[in-house]
Amino acid sequence: MAKPPISNTAEAPNGAVFAGVQIDLHGYHPRDIKGAPLATILEQAWQMGAPRIRFIHGHGRARGKRNMSRGFYRTNTGYFGLSIRRALRRNRALRQWIKYSTLDCSDWGRTTVKLKRNAKPTRNALDLTALPPRTQPL
């Protein structure tokens, strides 16, 4: 049975619970997520009143030790994670929901970012129709 692509809480191996929105991006290509879909996901998470959002993109083994193969997302280069992080850092339109300089890149396989506080949440769940269909099977 496949893991759900989204959850509101997650448990770490050490037993700590992650409070926020977590979304699994395996099976997508970076060009499918960057831009409008990423902005929509962030806005919806903020509308839910989530304190943070975690994108699970995979770690890309041996990143930095080989030549980067731009455009190949199943080649152990870490291209997907780097693309998501670059978009979160450089896209000014996304900053309206993100707390300044709160991008957590301490784990290669996931990127976590704190969201600005929303005193009046208007949404209960993310609308996954904002995401395009997966380009690769899980």
pLDDT confidence of residue 133: 87
Domain with 92, as residue range(s), is 6-121
CA–CA dist 55, 111 (Å, integer): 5
CA–CA dist 13, 59 (Å, integer): 17
Whether residue 112 is contained in a domain is answered as yes
Whether residue 60 is contained in a domain is answered as yes
Assign residue 87 the CATH number of its domain: 3.30.1370.110
pLDDT confidence of residue 4: 47
Whether residue 131 is contained in a domain is answered as no
pLDDT tens digits, 17-66? 677 899 998 888 888 898 899 999 999 999 999 999 999 988 765 545 44
Burial 76-96 (b: 16+ CB within 10 A, else e): ebbbbbbbbbebbeeeeebee
Give Cα separations from 85 to 6, 59, 105, 110, 119 (angstroms). 19, 13, 8, 10, 27
pLDDT confidence of residue 16: 62
* Structural domains counted in the chain: 1
pTM of the predicted model over 0.85: no
CA–CA dist 71, 111 (Å, integer): 19
